[in-house]
Amino acid sequence: MDQPYDLEVDRVLSWLRKEKASKVLVQAPDGIKPYLGPLVSSLENEGVEVYISGGHAWGGCDIAINEARILGITHIVHIGHHGPVRVSLSGVKALFIPGKANVDVSSVVRKGARLLKRKGDRRVALLTTAQHVHKLDEAARILEKEGLQVLIGKSPDPSMPKGLVVGCDLRALDSLRGFDSVMVIAGGLFHGVGAALWTGRRVILADPYTGSVKEGDDLVRKTLATRLRDISQALDASEILMVVSSKPGQLLLEGARRIRDCLRRRGKRAYIAVFNEVTREALENMGRYDAYINTACPRLAIDDREIFPGPVINLGEVSYLLGRELSTYDPRDALRTFLSSWEISKDQSHHSSS
């Protein structure tokens, strides 16, 4: 089988030797799992006992720490994501391998440049994922040869390289000013939708796997309409389920408690349920609720909205449930993973007056 991803076998072996690790848990997203064979064989040939995590791996926030502990393993090789993201690796060490894609990006970047020029855009912010960040400079040179000015920002997370985007961290765009549009080099629509919500600018989705180049405007309009509809419907909810994730980098229990208590002081019936995987079946098993507040990955309410049986609000959108005017809605709130100062002050003022 051809290897579409560079799993950096030598780097993994060097790390395990340095750590004197005799056992390792290998974790990868579903799209990379079928290509783990050569890595596993190479490690086993060196005397390492290898276990593959069969669960989903949604990001650098979703590290198989509990699986490793159950197996008595102290070393994890996590492939396909930047990390760790909001995870304390207490008692476990992890090596993050980006899973660089062995795919050409030049064709879609040129197509994207032509589309941008037809739109009259000249200053473009460039983003990509862990699989293509090693091609970022090449993409920038192509765009510049096409007469475009390229801006590449960096997240304040010191471990993230320039131009890298993850599902809930688009702060690389915050350091940039005056760009007309954003080009995202990535498979699918996921990261392009996030960039459009974060900036409100035109986003060009350049997919090197399919060769397609498209604008994300229509999809973003539908996403915004869904978010506003859900918030509007949740305003009248009497019984609300707080959805909490047990994944290490998604566990926001304190925020969930705070919201639950605030809602109860306002006469709502609010409950907390904890899930490892948030699915439609798991939510329906909980019974019927008027609305859901999602404190797990915020992208669930954006990209997998159908798993929620009723209106769903993300953690960053709770302020609208507490009285903030919906006419002031900021699409960034859909992606935030923390309570805003507005929500905290509103909670405190209501608590002191009750």
How far apart (Å, rounded) are the C-alpha atoms in residues 64 and 58? Answer: 11
- Tell me which CATH homologous superfamily contains domain 220-346: Diphthamide synthesis DPH1/DPH2 domain 3 (3.40.50.11860)
> Is 220-346 in the same CATH topology as 5-99?
yes
CA–CA separation, 37 vs 43, rounded Å?
A: 10
Task: Name the residue among 26, 42, 24, 46 with its Cα closest to residue 34.
Answer: 26
Mean pLDDT of the region 116-135: 97
Cβ–Cβ under 8 Å, residues 255 and 232:
no
Q: Quick one: pLDDT at residue 194?
A: 94
352 contact partners, CB below 8 Å, separation of at least 6: none
Question: How do residues 305-320 score in pLDDT, each as one tens digit?
Answer: 999 999 999 999 999 9
Topology classification of domain 105-210: Rossmann fold (3.40.50)
Q: What is the 3-state secondary structure (H, E, C) of 189-243?
A: CHHHHHHHHHHCCEEEEEECCCCEEEECHHHHHHHHHHHHHHHHHHCCCCEEEEE
Percent of the chain surpassing pLDDT 70? 95
- pLDDT value, residue 87: 87
Q: What is the pLDDT of residue 218?
A: 81
Is the pLDDT at 207 greater than 70? The verdict is yes
Question: According to the model, what pLDDT value does residue 89 have?
Answer: 86
Round to whole Å and give the CA distance between 183 and 203: 6
Asked whether residue 193 carries a pLDDT value surpassing 70, the answer given is: yes
Predicted confidence at residue 342, as pLDDT, reads: 47
295 pLDDT more than 60: yes
3-state secondary structure of 99: coil
136 neighbors 163 (Cβ within 8 angstroms) = yes
Beta sheet of 239-245, edge-to-edge order: 269-275, 239-245, 291-294, 312-314
Residue 209: pLDDT above 90? yes
Query: Domain 5-99 has what CATH class?
Result: alpha beta
Nearest to 114 by CA among 136, 135, 145, 159: 145
pLDDT reading at 346 higher than 70: no
Question: What are the extents of the domains in the chain?
Answer: 5-99, 105-210, 220-346
- With 50 as the cut, is the pLDDT of residue 132 above it? yes
Three-state SS at 273: strand
Summarised one tens digit per residue, pLDDT across range 37-92 is 999 999 999 999 999 999 999 999 999 999 999 999 999 999 999 999 988 888 89
pLDDT of residue 339: 64
* Mean local confidence (pLDDT), 215-229: 91
pTM: 0.89
Round the average pLDDT of the chain to a whole number and report it. 93
